[in-house]
Amino acid sequence: MRRSVFAANWKMNKRVSEAAAFVNALEHELALDDRIHRNSTVILAPSATHLETVSRLLGETNIELGAQNCGTTRFGAFTGENSPAALHELGCHWVILGHSERRHVFKEDDAQIVARAKAALQDKLKVIYCVGELLQDRKSGQTTQVIESQLSALKTGELPAGFLDHFVLAYEPVWAIGTGETATAAQAQEVHAFIRQWLTKNFDVQTSERCRVLYGGSVKPENAASIMAEKDVDGLLVGTASLDPLVFAGVIRNGLKPKLERSSG
List active site positions: 99, 172
Name which position in 5, 8, 9, 174 contacts ligand PGA (CB under 6 A). Answer: 9
| Residue 108 near ligand PGA by CB under 6 A | no
Shortest separation between residue 78's beta carbon and ligand PGA, angstroms: 24
| Residue 236 near ligand PGA by CB under 6 A | no
Shortest separation between residue 218's beta carbon and ligand PGA, angstroms: 4
Nearer to ligand PGA, 85 or 241 (CB): 241
**Ordered alpha helix ranges (H), the chain:** 19-31, 35-39, 51-58, 84-89, 100, 110-122, 135-139, 143-152, 185-202, 205-210, 221-228, 245-264
| Residue 219 near ligand PGA by CB under 6 A | yes
Nearer to ligand PGA, 85 or 151 (CB): 151
68, 12 contact by CB (below 8 A): no
What distances in angstroms separate CA 236 from CA 91, 97, 254, one per listed residue?
22, 15, 11
Shortest separation between residue 75's beta carbon and ligand PGA, angstroms: 28
Name which position in 218, 232, 249, 256 contacts ligand PGA (CB under 6 A). Answer: 218
Name which position in 177, 183, 188, 252 contacts ligand PGA (CB under 6 A). Answer: 177
Query: Cα(21)–Cα(35) distance, rounded to whole angstroms?
Result: 23
Nearer to ligand PGA, 41 or 218 (CB): 218
The single-letter code of the amino acid at 163 is: F
Shortest separation between residue 53's beta carbon and ligand PGA, angstroms: 22
Q: For residues 53-92, which are near ligand PGA according to CB under 6 A?
A: none
Residue 128 pairs in a beta bridge with: 96, 168
Longest alpha-carbon distance in the chain: 55
**Residue in the shown chain whose Cβ atom is closest to ligand PGA:** 239
| Gap between the terminal Cα atoms of the chain | 13
List the one residue out of 29, 25, 30, 35 whose CA is nearest residue 4.
35
Name which position in 169, 174, 191, 238 contacts ligand PGA (CB under 6 A). Answer: 238
Query: Cα(43)–Cα(136) distance, rounded to whole angstroms?
Result: 31
Q: For residues 137-176, which are near ligand PGA according to CB under 6 A?
A: 172
Binding site for ligand PGA (CB under 6 A): 9, 172, 177-178, 216-219, 237-241
